Amino acid sequence: MKKLNVMFLLGAVSLAAVLLSPVMVASPGGIGDSDQEYGCVDPCHAVHSSSVITMTASTLEPLPGGSVTVTVTVTGAEADNTPLGVMLLSSLGGDNTQPSATGWTITADTSGVTKFNYNEVQSYAGSATFEWTLTAPSTPGIYKLYAREVHGDGAKYVNDFLTGLQFVVGEAVPPGKPFVLITPSSGSEVSGTITVIADVVSEAAIEYAVLTINGVVEGNLSSAPYAWDVDTTKYVDGPITVNVTAADSNGSKGYQEVTLTVNNAAESEYLLSWLATMAAGSVAIVAIVGILIVIALYMRARLMGGRGS
Amino acid sequence: MVSMSALHSLTAELHAGFLTLAFVCIVIVAGSQIVVRYKSRMPKRLVNLAIRVRGYTEAAGYVGAVGGLLGLLLSAWTGMYAWPSSALLDSPEVRNKIMLTVFATVLWAMVVFVRLRFGRGLWTCPAMATLYVVLAFVAYGVVGMTGSLGAHLTLGESVLDPLWNLVGVDVGEDLALEPATAALLALLSMLGLILALWVARRKDLFSVRLDAETCQKFFKWDEPVIQPVNANK
Protein backbone atom coordinates (compact mmCIF):
# COMPACT_ATOMS: atom_id res chain seq x y z
CA MET A 1 0.00 0.00 0.00
CA LYS A 2 2.72 2.47 1.02
CA LYS A 3 4.96 1.33 -1.82
CA LEU A 4 2.13 1.79 -4.25
CA ASN A 5 1.56 5.33 -3.04
CA VAL A 6 5.28 6.13 -3.20
CA MET A 7 5.42 4.80 -6.76
CA PHE A 8 2.57 7.02 -7.91
CA LEU A 9 4.00 9.99 -6.03
CA LEU A 10 7.32 9.50 -7.81
CA GLY A 11 5.50 9.23 -11.13
CA ALA A 12 3.60 12.44 -10.47
CA VAL A 13 6.76 14.29 -9.40
CA SER A 14 8.61 13.10 -12.53
CA LEU A 15 5.76 14.17 -14.78
CA ALA A 16 5.58 17.58 -13.08
CA ALA A 17 9.34 17.98 -13.48
CA VAL A 18 9.10 17.20 -17.20
CA LEU A 19 6.20 19.61 -17.68
CA LEU A 20 7.77 22.40 -15.64
CA SER A 21 11.32 22.10 -16.97
CA PRO A 22 10.65 24.40 -19.95
CA VAL A 23 9.49 27.14 -17.60
CA MET A 24 12.58 26.79 -15.46
CA VAL A 25 14.97 27.27 -18.41
CA ALA A 26 13.03 30.10 -20.09
CA SER A 27 15.09 33.06 -21.26
CA PRO A 28 13.92 36.65 -21.75
CA GLY A 29 13.07 37.72 -25.29
CA GLY A 30 15.50 39.50 -27.52
CA ILE A 31 19.20 38.98 -28.14
CA GLY A 32 20.39 42.58 -27.96
CA ASP A 33 22.45 44.61 -30.43
CA SER A 34 25.06 42.32 -31.96
CA ASP A 35 26.64 41.12 -35.20
CA GLN A 36 24.39 38.57 -36.88
CA GLU A 37 24.53 36.49 -40.05
CA TYR A 38 21.56 35.77 -42.28
CA GLY A 39 19.92 32.51 -41.24
CA CYS A 40 17.13 31.42 -39.00
CA VAL A 41 18.54 33.43 -36.03
CA ASP A 42 18.77 31.91 -32.55
CA PRO A 43 16.12 30.78 -31.69
CA CYS A 44 15.10 29.98 -35.26
CA HIS A 45 12.65 32.43 -36.80
CA ALA A 46 10.63 30.85 -39.58
CA VAL A 47 7.11 32.35 -39.61
CA HIS A 48 6.57 35.13 -42.15
CA SER A 49 5.74 38.40 -40.44
CA SER A 50 3.01 40.77 -41.59
CA SER A 51 5.35 43.73 -41.08
CA VAL A 52 6.16 46.24 -43.81
CA ILE A 53 9.82 47.11 -44.32
CA THR A 54 11.09 50.14 -46.20
CA MET A 55 14.72 50.80 -46.92
CA THR A 56 16.26 54.07 -48.07
CA ALA A 57 19.79 55.42 -48.46
CA SER A 58 21.32 58.90 -48.48
CA THR A 59 22.82 58.05 -51.88
CA LEU A 60 22.80 55.08 -54.24
CA GLU A 61 25.93 56.20 -56.08
CA PRO A 62 28.62 56.75 -53.45
CA LEU A 63 32.27 57.16 -54.24
CA PRO A 64 34.61 54.32 -53.25
CA GLY A 65 35.14 54.71 -49.49
CA GLY A 66 32.42 57.36 -49.36
CA SER A 67 29.84 57.64 -46.59
CA VAL A 68 26.29 56.28 -46.94
CA THR A 69 23.45 56.39 -44.43
CA VAL A 70 20.94 53.53 -44.72
CA THR A 71 17.58 53.85 -42.99
CA VAL A 72 15.27 50.89 -42.39
CA THR A 73 11.72 51.47 -41.18
CA VAL A 74 9.44 48.71 -39.91
CA THR A 75 5.71 49.17 -39.46
CA GLY A 76 3.01 46.70 -38.45
CA ALA A 77 4.12 43.22 -37.33
CA GLU A 78 2.81 40.93 -34.61
CA ALA A 79 5.10 42.23 -31.86
CA ASP A 80 3.31 44.16 -29.14
CA ASN A 81 5.59 45.85 -26.62
CA THR A 82 8.08 43.02 -27.15
CA PRO A 83 11.56 43.08 -28.74
CA LEU A 84 11.94 43.57 -32.50
CA GLY A 85 15.23 43.66 -34.35
CA VAL A 86 16.55 44.48 -37.81
CA MET A 87 19.81 43.34 -39.37
CA LEU A 88 21.60 44.94 -42.29
CA LEU A 89 23.03 42.38 -44.71
CA SER A 90 25.02 42.19 -47.92
CA SER A 91 23.26 39.04 -49.12
CA LEU A 92 20.32 36.81 -48.24
CA GLY A 93 22.19 33.50 -48.36
CA GLY A 94 25.59 31.92 -47.85
CA ASP A 95 27.88 32.00 -44.86
CA ASN A 96 29.23 35.56 -45.01
CA THR A 97 26.25 37.85 -45.12
CA GLN A 98 27.28 40.86 -43.07
CA PRO A 99 27.93 44.11 -44.98
CA SER A 100 31.66 43.70 -44.30
CA ALA A 101 31.66 40.58 -46.52
CA THR A 102 31.42 42.77 -49.62
CA GLY A 103 33.63 45.60 -48.41
CA TRP A 104 31.20 47.80 -46.48
CA THR A 105 32.26 49.14 -43.09
CA ILE A 106 29.69 50.12 -40.51
CA THR A 107 30.89 53.29 -38.81
CA ALA A 108 27.81 53.77 -36.61
CA ASP A 109 24.58 51.90 -35.95
CA THR A 110 21.23 53.12 -34.62
CA SER A 111 22.66 53.78 -31.16
CA GLY A 112 25.29 56.10 -32.70
CA VAL A 113 27.87 54.50 -30.42
CA THR A 114 28.31 50.86 -31.45
CA LYS A 115 28.89 49.36 -34.91
CA PHE A 116 26.68 46.27 -34.99
CA ASN A 117 24.75 45.11 -38.08
CA TYR A 118 21.83 43.92 -35.87
CA ASN A 119 19.92 46.48 -33.79
CA GLU A 120 16.94 45.85 -31.56
CA VAL A 121 14.20 47.84 -29.89
CA GLN A 122 13.14 46.30 -26.60
CA SER A 123 9.50 47.41 -26.67
CA TYR A 124 8.16 47.65 -30.21
CA ALA A 125 4.90 49.61 -30.50
CA GLY A 126 3.80 49.59 -34.14
CA SER A 127 6.77 51.18 -35.89
CA ALA A 128 10.50 51.56 -35.50
CA THR A 129 13.33 53.15 -37.47
CA PHE A 130 16.89 51.88 -37.63
CA GLU A 131 19.82 53.75 -39.12
CA TRP A 132 23.34 52.73 -40.09
CA THR A 133 26.17 54.86 -41.39
CA LEU A 134 28.57 52.95 -43.59
CA THR A 135 31.70 53.48 -45.62
CA ALA A 136 31.25 52.20 -49.17
CA PRO A 137 33.58 49.49 -50.55
CA SER A 138 36.88 50.80 -51.93
CA THR A 139 36.54 48.85 -55.18
CA PRO A 140 34.16 50.32 -57.77
CA GLY A 141 31.29 48.02 -58.64
CA ILE A 142 27.66 47.17 -58.00
CA TYR A 143 26.79 46.30 -54.43
CA LYS A 144 23.58 45.42 -52.66
CA LEU A 145 22.38 45.79 -49.11
CA TYR A 146 19.36 43.99 -47.64
CA ALA A 147 17.43 44.19 -44.39
CA ARG A 148 15.85 41.43 -42.33
CA GLU A 149 13.37 41.99 -39.52
CA VAL A 150 12.85 39.43 -36.72
CA HIS A 151 10.59 39.38 -33.68
CA GLY A 152 8.78 36.99 -31.37
CA ASP A 153 5.53 37.32 -29.45
CA GLY A 154 3.71 34.01 -29.81
CA ALA A 155 5.83 32.66 -32.66
CA LYS A 156 9.19 33.38 -34.29
CA TYR A 157 8.51 35.86 -37.07
CA VAL A 158 10.77 37.02 -39.84
CA ASN A 159 10.49 39.34 -42.84
CA ASP A 160 13.14 40.12 -45.45
CA PHE A 161 13.44 43.23 -47.61
CA LEU A 162 14.00 41.00 -50.62
CA THR A 163 14.64 43.57 -53.33
CA GLY A 164 17.40 45.26 -51.36
CA LEU A 165 19.09 48.51 -52.27
CA GLN A 166 21.48 48.50 -55.20
CA PHE A 167 24.49 50.80 -54.97
CA VAL A 168 26.73 51.77 -57.86
CA VAL A 169 30.03 52.56 -56.21
CA GLY A 170 32.36 54.80 -58.19
CA GLU A 171 32.32 54.61 -61.94
CA ALA A 172 30.98 51.09 -61.91
CA VAL A 173 29.00 51.19 -65.10
CA PRO A 174 31.06 52.40 -67.99
CA PRO A 175 28.84 53.12 -70.99
CA GLY A 176 27.80 50.10 -73.02
CA LYS A 177 29.09 47.34 -70.80
CA PRO A 178 26.91 44.99 -68.70
CA PHE A 179 27.85 44.57 -65.06
CA VAL A 180 27.32 41.36 -63.17
CA LEU A 181 27.00 40.69 -59.42
CA ILE A 182 27.12 37.04 -58.36
CA THR A 183 25.57 35.54 -55.22
CA PRO A 184 27.02 33.69 -53.25
CA SER A 185 29.81 36.19 -52.81
CA SER A 186 33.44 35.32 -53.34
CA GLY A 187 34.98 33.32 -50.50
CA SER A 188 31.71 31.66 -49.45
CA GLU A 189 31.77 28.01 -48.39
CA VAL A 190 29.14 25.89 -50.16
CA SER A 191 27.88 22.32 -50.10
CA GLY A 192 25.08 20.22 -51.60
CA THR A 193 22.94 21.99 -54.19
CA ILE A 194 23.30 25.77 -54.30
CA THR A 195 21.65 28.47 -56.40
CA VAL A 196 23.97 30.83 -58.21
CA ILE A 197 22.18 34.15 -58.82
CA ALA A 198 23.52 36.88 -61.08
CA ASP A 199 22.22 40.46 -60.92
CA VAL A 200 22.95 41.93 -64.33
CA VAL A 201 22.81 45.67 -65.02
CA SER A 202 23.30 47.28 -68.41
CA GLU A 203 22.25 50.36 -70.33
CA ALA A 204 21.03 48.10 -73.15
CA ALA A 205 18.77 45.04 -73.01
CA ILE A 206 20.48 41.86 -71.85
CA GLU A 207 20.65 39.21 -74.57
CA TYR A 208 21.95 36.31 -72.50
CA ALA A 209 24.00 35.33 -69.47
CA VAL A 210 26.30 32.32 -69.35
CA LEU A 211 27.41 30.46 -66.23
CA THR A 212 30.75 28.69 -66.31
CA ILE A 213 32.36 26.79 -63.48
CA ASN A 214 36.07 26.03 -63.68
CA GLY A 215 35.88 27.06 -67.33
CA VAL A 216 33.06 24.64 -68.22
CA VAL A 217 29.72 26.08 -69.39
CA GLU A 218 27.00 24.98 -66.95
CA GLY A 219 24.05 27.10 -68.09
CA ASN A 220 22.85 29.78 -70.46
CA LEU A 221 19.79 31.99 -69.89
CA SER A 222 18.30 34.61 -72.20
CA SER A 223 16.00 36.30 -69.67
CA ALA A 224 15.97 37.19 -66.01
CA PRO A 225 16.10 35.84 -63.38
CA TYR A 226 19.62 34.67 -64.10
CA ALA A 227 19.74 31.86 -61.56
CA TRP A 228 21.12 28.33 -61.80
CA ASP A 229 20.96 25.37 -59.42
CA VAL A 230 24.41 23.87 -59.10
CA ASP A 231 25.13 20.46 -57.58
CA THR A 232 28.44 21.01 -55.82
CA THR A 233 28.97 17.29 -55.22
CA LYS A 234 30.17 17.11 -58.84
CA TYR A 235 33.30 18.99 -57.78
CA VAL A 236 36.22 17.99 -55.62
CA ASP A 237 36.22 19.74 -52.23
CA GLY A 238 38.21 22.97 -52.51
CA PRO A 239 38.01 26.22 -54.48
CA ILE A 240 35.96 26.47 -57.68
CA THR A 241 35.83 29.43 -60.03
CA VAL A 242 32.35 30.62 -60.91
CA ASN A 243 31.98 33.03 -63.82
CA VAL A 244 28.87 34.69 -65.18
CA THR A 245 29.28 36.55 -68.46
CA ALA A 246 26.42 38.68 -69.78
CA ALA A 247 26.03 40.18 -73.24
CA ASP A 248 23.70 43.03 -74.14
CA SER A 249 21.93 43.94 -77.38
CA ASN A 250 24.84 46.20 -78.34
CA GLY A 251 27.10 43.18 -78.41
CA SER A 252 29.01 44.32 -75.33
CA LYS A 253 29.97 41.78 -72.72
CA GLY A 254 30.62 42.07 -69.00
CA TYR A 255 31.39 39.44 -66.40
CA GLN A 256 32.12 38.71 -62.76
CA GLU A 257 34.19 35.86 -61.48
CA VAL A 258 34.07 34.61 -57.88
CA THR A 259 35.88 31.85 -56.07
CA LEU A 260 33.75 29.59 -53.86
CA THR A 261 34.99 26.84 -51.56
CA VAL A 262 33.20 23.50 -51.89
CA ASN A 263 33.06 21.57 -48.61
CA ASN A 264 30.88 18.52 -48.98
CA ALA A 265 33.01 16.54 -46.53
CA ALA A 266 31.50 18.56 -43.69
CA GLU A 267 28.03 17.73 -45.01
CA SER A 268 28.96 14.02 -45.12
CA GLU A 269 30.12 14.25 -41.51
CA TYR A 270 26.77 15.81 -40.61
CA LEU A 271 24.94 12.91 -42.24
CA LEU A 272 27.18 10.40 -40.46
CA SER A 273 26.41 12.08 -37.12
CA TRP A 274 22.71 12.03 -37.95
CA LEU A 275 22.70 8.32 -38.84
CA ALA A 276 24.80 7.46 -35.79
CA THR A 277 22.46 9.42 -33.50
CA MET A 278 19.40 7.67 -34.95
CA ALA A 279 20.97 4.24 -34.52
CA ALA A 280 22.37 4.94 -31.05
CA GLY A 281 19.12 6.56 -29.91
CA SER A 282 17.11 3.56 -31.06
CA VAL A 283 19.48 1.12 -29.36
CA ALA A 284 19.35 3.23 -26.18
CA ILE A 285 15.54 3.26 -26.18
CA VAL A 286 15.35 -0.52 -26.60
CA ALA A 287 18.02 -1.03 -23.92
CA ILE A 288 16.42 1.34 -21.40
CA VAL A 289 12.97 -0.20 -21.86
CA GLY A 290 14.49 -3.70 -21.65
CA ILE A 291 16.28 -2.82 -18.42
CA LEU A 292 13.09 -1.30 -16.97
CA ILE A 293 11.13 -4.45 -17.87
CA VAL A 294 13.72 -6.57 -16.05
CA ILE A 295 13.54 -4.23 -13.04
CA ALA A 296 9.72 -4.45 -13.03
CA LEU A 297 9.88 -8.26 -13.19
CA TYR A 298 12.53 -8.35 -10.47
CA MET A 299 10.41 -6.15 -8.18
CA ARG A 300 7.44 -8.40 -8.81
CA ALA A 301 9.48 -11.55 -8.09
CA ARG A 302 10.72 -10.09 -4.80
CA LEU A 303 7.24 -9.08 -3.73
CA MET A 304 5.94 -12.53 -4.62
CA GLY A 305 8.51 -14.09 -2.30
CA GLY A 306 11.03 -15.02 -4.95
CA ARG A 307 8.59 -16.88 -7.18
CA GLY A 308 9.51 -16.37 -10.84
CA SER A 309 6.14 -17.33 -12.17
CA MET B 1 -2.97 9.83 -59.77
CA VAL B 2 -2.79 10.59 -56.06
CA SER B 3 0.40 12.40 -55.10
CA MET B 4 2.67 10.97 -52.42
CA SER B 5 2.29 14.23 -50.56
CA ALA B 6 -1.48 13.70 -50.27
CA LEU B 7 -0.94 10.06 -49.28
CA HIS B 8 1.53 11.17 -46.62
CA SER B 9 -1.06 13.55 -45.18
CA LEU B 10 -3.53 10.65 -45.09
CA THR B 11 -1.16 8.24 -43.36
CA ALA B 12 -0.01 10.95 -40.94
CA GLU B 13 -3.65 11.53 -39.93
CA LEU B 14 -4.06 7.77 -39.62
CA HIS B 15 -1.17 7.19 -37.24
CA ALA B 16 -1.92 10.36 -35.26
CA GLY B 17 -5.53 9.21 -34.78
CA PHE B 18 -4.62 5.66 -33.83
CA LEU B 19 -1.88 6.73 -31.43
CA THR B 20 -4.07 9.36 -29.78
CA LEU B 21 -6.71 6.67 -29.26
CA ALA B 22 -4.09 4.33 -27.80
CA PHE B 23 -2.68 7.01 -25.50
CA VAL B 24 -6.08 8.17 -24.24
CA CYS B 25 -7.20 4.56 -23.65
CA ILE B 26 -4.02 3.69 -21.72
CA VAL B 27 -4.46 6.78 -19.52
CA ILE B 28 -8.13 5.86 -18.91
CA VAL B 29 -7.19 2.30 -17.92
CA ALA B 30 -4.54 3.66 -15.53
CA GLY B 31 -7.11 5.99 -13.99
CA SER B 32 -9.65 3.18 -13.76
CA GLN B 33 -7.17 0.88 -12.05
CA ILE B 34 -6.54 3.53 -9.39
CA VAL B 35 -10.29 4.04 -8.88
CA VAL B 36 -10.81 0.27 -8.52
CA ARG B 37 -7.80 -0.05 -6.19
CA TYR B 38 -9.32 2.52 -3.83
CA LYS B 39 -12.89 1.38 -4.37
CA SER B 40 -13.69 1.44 -0.67
CA ARG B 41 -13.23 5.25 -0.74
CA MET B 42 -14.89 5.81 -4.12
CA PRO B 43 -18.59 6.14 -5.02
CA LYS B 44 -19.91 2.73 -6.05
CA ARG B 45 -21.26 4.12 -9.33
CA LEU B 46 -17.78 5.42 -10.27
CA VAL B 47 -16.17 2.10 -9.39
CA ASN B 48 -18.67 0.18 -11.53
CA LEU B 49 -18.09 2.59 -14.40
CA ALA B 50 -14.30 2.23 -14.05
CA ILE B 51 -14.55 -1.59 -14.05
CA ARG B 52 -16.66 -1.55 -17.19
CA VAL B 53 -14.72 1.18 -19.02
CA ARG B 54 -11.24 -0.26 -18.39
CA GLY B 55 -12.17 -3.53 -20.08
CA TYR B 56 -13.08 -1.81 -23.32
CA THR B 57 -10.38 0.85 -23.27
CA GLU B 58 -7.65 -1.68 -22.50
CA ALA B 59 -8.49 -3.60 -25.65
CA ALA B 60 -8.98 -0.41 -27.67
CA GLY B 61 -5.62 0.91 -26.46
CA TYR B 62 -3.86 -2.23 -27.64
CA VAL B 63 -5.56 -2.13 -31.04
CA GLY B 64 -4.82 1.61 -31.29
CA ALA B 65 -1.13 1.09 -30.51
CA VAL B 66 -0.79 -1.69 -33.11
CA GLY B 67 -2.71 0.36 -35.71
CA GLY B 68 -0.69 3.46 -34.90
CA LEU B 69 2.59 1.57 -35.21
CA LEU B 70 1.59 0.29 -38.65
CA GLY B 71 0.46 3.84 -39.54
CA LEU B 72 3.84 5.21 -38.44
CA LEU B 73 5.69 2.78 -40.69
CA LEU B 74 3.35 3.67 -43.55
CA SER B 75 3.89 7.41 -42.88
CA ALA B 76 7.65 6.95 -42.93
CA TRP B 77 7.39 5.23 -46.31
CA THR B 78 5.08 7.84 -47.88
CA GLY B 79 7.10 10.65 -46.27
CA MET B 80 10.24 9.46 -48.07
CA TYR B 81 8.51 10.03 -51.39
CA ALA B 82 6.55 13.17 -50.42
CA TRP B 83 9.73 15.24 -50.25
CA PRO B 84 11.96 15.73 -53.34
CA SER B 85 14.56 12.99 -52.96
CA SER B 86 17.45 15.29 -53.95
CA ALA B 87 16.57 17.69 -51.13
CA LEU B 88 15.36 15.09 -48.62
CA LEU B 89 18.44 15.28 -46.42
CA ASP B 90 19.44 18.87 -47.16
CA SER B 91 17.17 20.42 -44.55
CA PRO B 92 18.05 20.03 -40.85
CA GLU B 93 14.32 20.17 -40.06
CA VAL B 94 13.64 17.17 -42.33
CA ARG B 95 16.58 15.30 -40.82
CA ASN B 96 15.29 16.03 -37.30
CA LYS B 97 11.80 14.91 -38.30
CA ILE B 98 13.10 11.62 -39.70
CA MET B 99 15.14 11.04 -36.53
CA LEU B 100 12.20 11.73 -34.22
CA THR B 101 9.95 9.53 -36.38
CA VAL B 102 12.42 6.65 -35.93
CA PHE B 103 12.48 7.23 -32.16
CA ALA B 104 8.67 7.41 -32.02
CA THR B 105 8.40 4.18 -34.00
CA VAL B 106 10.84 2.38 -31.69
CA LEU B 107 9.02 3.70 -28.59
CA TRP B 108 5.59 2.61 -29.84
CA ALA B 109 7.08 -0.74 -30.87
CA MET B 110 8.18 -1.12 -27.24
CA VAL B 111 4.67 -0.20 -26.03
CA VAL B 112 3.23 -2.91 -28.28
CA PHE B 113 5.94 -5.36 -27.22
CA VAL B 114 5.20 -4.89 -23.51
CA ARG B 115 1.47 -5.40 -24.09
CA LEU B 116 2.03 -8.34 -26.44
CA ARG B 117 4.48 -10.11 -24.12
CA PHE B 118 2.70 -9.60 -20.81
CA GLY B 119 -0.91 -9.33 -21.94
CA ARG B 120 -3.70 -7.67 -19.98
CA GLY B 121 -2.10 -9.13 -16.88
CA LEU B 122 0.49 -6.34 -16.92
CA TRP B 123 -2.16 -4.15 -15.28
CA THR B 124 -2.15 -6.42 -12.23
CA CYS B 125 1.47 -5.48 -11.48
CA PRO B 126 1.92 -1.80 -10.54
CA ALA B 127 5.58 -1.69 -11.64
CA MET B 128 4.80 -3.10 -15.07
CA ALA B 129 1.67 -0.96 -15.40
CA THR B 130 3.66 2.16 -14.49
CA LEU B 131 6.30 1.27 -17.07
CA TYR B 132 3.59 0.75 -19.71
CA VAL B 133 1.91 4.11 -18.93
CA VAL B 134 5.16 6.09 -18.76
CA LEU B 135 6.30 4.50 -22.02
CA ALA B 136 3.02 5.54 -23.66
CA PHE B 137 3.46 9.11 -22.34
CA VAL B 138 7.00 9.41 -23.71
CA ALA B 139 6.09 7.76 -27.03
CA TYR B 140 3.09 10.05 -27.49
CA GLY B 141 5.23 13.08 -26.59
CA VAL B 142 7.78 12.19 -29.26
CA VAL B 143 4.98 11.74 -31.81
CA GLY B 144 3.76 15.24 -30.88
CA MET B 145 7.27 16.64 -31.41
CA THR B 146 7.44 14.91 -34.81
CA GLY B 147 4.07 16.41 -35.76
CA SER B 148 5.32 19.84 -34.73
CA LEU B 149 8.28 19.52 -37.09
CA GLY B 150 5.90 18.43 -39.86
CA ALA B 151 3.82 21.57 -39.26
CA HIS B 152 7.02 23.63 -39.47
CA LEU B 153 7.86 22.11 -42.84
CA THR B 154 4.41 22.57 -44.35
CA LEU B 155 3.06 25.69 -42.60
CA GLY B 156 6.19 27.35 -41.25
CA GLU B 157 4.84 27.28 -37.71
CA SER B 158 3.42 24.96 -35.09
CA VAL B 159 1.28 25.31 -31.99
CA LEU B 160 4.22 23.86 -30.05
CA ASP B 161 6.46 26.80 -31.06
CA PRO B 162 6.12 28.54 -27.67
CA LEU B 163 7.25 25.28 -26.05
CA TRP B 164 10.26 24.97 -28.37
CA ASN B 165 11.14 28.60 -27.55
CA LEU B 166 10.87 28.01 -23.83
CA VAL B 167 13.00 24.89 -23.97
CA GLY B 168 15.50 26.76 -26.16
CA VAL B 169 15.53 24.06 -28.85
CA ASP B 170 16.03 25.28 -32.40
CA VAL B 171 14.26 22.72 -34.59
CA GLY B 172 15.95 24.27 -37.63
CA GLU B 173 19.35 23.07 -36.46
CA ASP B 174 20.75 19.54 -36.40
CA LEU B 175 20.05 17.75 -33.14
CA ALA B 176 22.65 15.07 -33.89
CA LEU B 177 25.38 13.83 -31.55
CA GLU B 178 29.03 13.44 -32.47
CA PRO B 179 29.58 9.96 -33.97
CA ALA B 180 31.96 9.01 -31.13
CA THR B 181 29.41 10.08 -28.50
CA ALA B 182 26.65 8.18 -30.31
CA ALA B 183 28.84 5.06 -30.49
CA LEU B 184 29.59 5.30 -26.76
CA LEU B 185 25.88 5.69 -25.99
CA ALA B 186 25.03 2.63 -28.10
CA LEU B 187 27.81 0.60 -26.49
CA LEU B 188 26.80 1.49 -22.93
CA SER B 189 23.15 0.78 -23.75
CA MET B 190 24.02 -2.62 -25.16
CA LEU B 191 26.16 -3.46 -22.14
CA GLY B 192 23.35 -2.40 -19.80
CA LEU B 193 20.83 -4.51 -21.69
CA ILE B 194 23.10 -7.55 -21.77
CA LEU B 195 23.69 -7.24 -18.02
CA ALA B 196 19.95 -6.91 -17.38
CA LEU B 197 19.17 -9.93 -19.56
CA TRP B 198 21.86 -11.94 -17.77
CA VAL B 199 20.33 -11.08 -14.38
CA ALA B 200 16.86 -11.90 -15.68
CA ARG B 201 18.04 -15.28 -16.93
CA ARG B 202 19.78 -16.12 -13.66
CA LYS B 203 16.70 -15.13 -11.65
CA ASP B 204 14.37 -16.88 -14.09
CA LEU B 205 12.35 -13.68 -14.49
CA PHE B 206 11.23 -14.25 -18.08
CA SER B 207 9.33 -17.44 -17.34
CA VAL B 208 6.59 -15.28 -15.82
CA ARG B 209 3.16 -15.15 -17.33
CA LEU B 210 1.29 -12.24 -15.84
CA ASP B 211 -2.35 -13.05 -15.30
CA ALA B 212 -5.13 -12.37 -12.86
CA GLU B 213 -3.41 -14.14 -10.00
CA THR B 214 0.28 -13.26 -10.29
CA CYS B 215 0.34 -9.85 -8.61
CA GLN B 216 -2.74 -10.18 -6.46
CA LYS B 217 -0.89 -11.12 -3.31
CA PHE B 218 -0.01 -7.59 -2.32
CA PHE B 219 -1.72 -5.13 -4.58
CA LYS B 220 -4.97 -6.75 -5.60
CA TRP B 221 -5.02 -4.95 -8.91
CA ASP B 222 -7.61 -6.60 -11.11
CA GLU B 223 -6.93 -7.60 -14.66
CA PRO B 224 -9.14 -5.39 -16.86
CA VAL B 225 -11.56 -7.62 -18.71
CA ILE B 226 -14.67 -6.74 -20.68
CA GLN B 227 -17.54 -7.24 -18.26
CA PRO B 228 -20.94 -8.56 -19.24
CA VAL B 229 -23.48 -5.73 -19.24
CA ASN B 230 -25.29 -7.02 -16.15
CA ALA B 231 -22.19 -8.27 -14.31
CA ASN B 232 -22.23 -5.53 -11.71
CA LYS B 233 -25.90 -5.23 -11.22
Neighbours of A75 (CB within 10 A): 12
The reply to whether A47-169 and A179-262 are identical in fold is: yes
Per-residue pLDDT at A30 exceeds 70: yes
Residue-wise pLDDT tens for chain B (233 aa)? 667 778 888 888 899 999 999 999 999 999 998 888 888 888 989 988 988 888 899 999 999 999 999 999 998 888 877 766 656 677 778 888 889 999 999 999 999 999 998 888 888 888 888 999 999 999 999 998 888 888 877 777 778 888 877 877 777 777 788 889 999 999 999 999 999 999 988 888 877 766 555 555 545 566 677 766 555 44
What ipTM is given for this predicted complex? 0.85
At A14, phi and psi to the nearest 5? -60, -45
Identify which of A26, A279, A297 has the shortest CB distance to residue B186: A279
A63–chain B nearest CA distance, Å: 40
- Domain spans in chain A, listed from the N-terminal domain onward: 47-169, 179-262, 266-309
- B214 belongs to a structural domain: no
Chain B contact set for A283 (CB, 8 A): 185-186, 189-190
Do B222 and B126 meet the contact criterion of CB atoms below 8 Å apart? no
- B216 belongs to a structural domain: no
- B190 belongs to a structural domain: no
Q: What is the CA angle A102-A93-A42, rounded to 5?
A: 110
Chain A contact set for B197 (CB, 8 A): 290, 294
Chain B contact set for A49 (CB, 8 A): none
Cross-chain residue pair A286–B189, CB shorter than 8 Å: yes
Per-residue pLDDT at A284 exceeds 90: yes
- B129 belongs to a structural domain: yes
Identify which of A43, A287, A304 has the shortest CB distance to residue B165: A43
- B187 belongs to a structural domain: no
A162 touches chain B (CB under 8 A): no
Name the range with the highest mean pLDDT among A139-153, A162-176, B39-53, B219-233: B39-53
B200 touches chain A (CB under 8 A): yes
**Which architecture, in CATH terms, is A179-262?**
Sandwich (2.60)
A50–chain B nearest CA distance, Å: 14
If one counts the domains in chain B, the total is 1
Which of B110, B117, B140, B213 best probes binding to A when mutated, by most A CB atoms within 10 angstroms? Answer: B110
Is the dihedral angle over the CA atoms B148, B150, B141, B191 positive or is it negative?
A: negative
Give the per-residue pLDDT at A49: 82
Mean of the pLDDT values across residues A203-232?
89
Which of B130, B181, B202, B221 best probes binding to A when mutated, by most A CB atoms within 10 angstroms? Answer: B130
A154–chain B nearest CA distance, Å: 6
pLDDT band at A29 (very low <50, low <70, confident <90, very high): low
- B168 belongs to a structural domain: yes
Which of B137, B177, B187, B221 best probes binding to A when mutated, by most A CB atoms within 10 angstroms? Answer: B177
- B18 belongs to a structural domain: yes
Cross-chain residue pair B208–A284, CB shorter than 8 Å: no
The CATH number that domain A47-169 falls under is 2.60.40.3880
pTM: 0.58
- B230 belongs to a structural domain: no
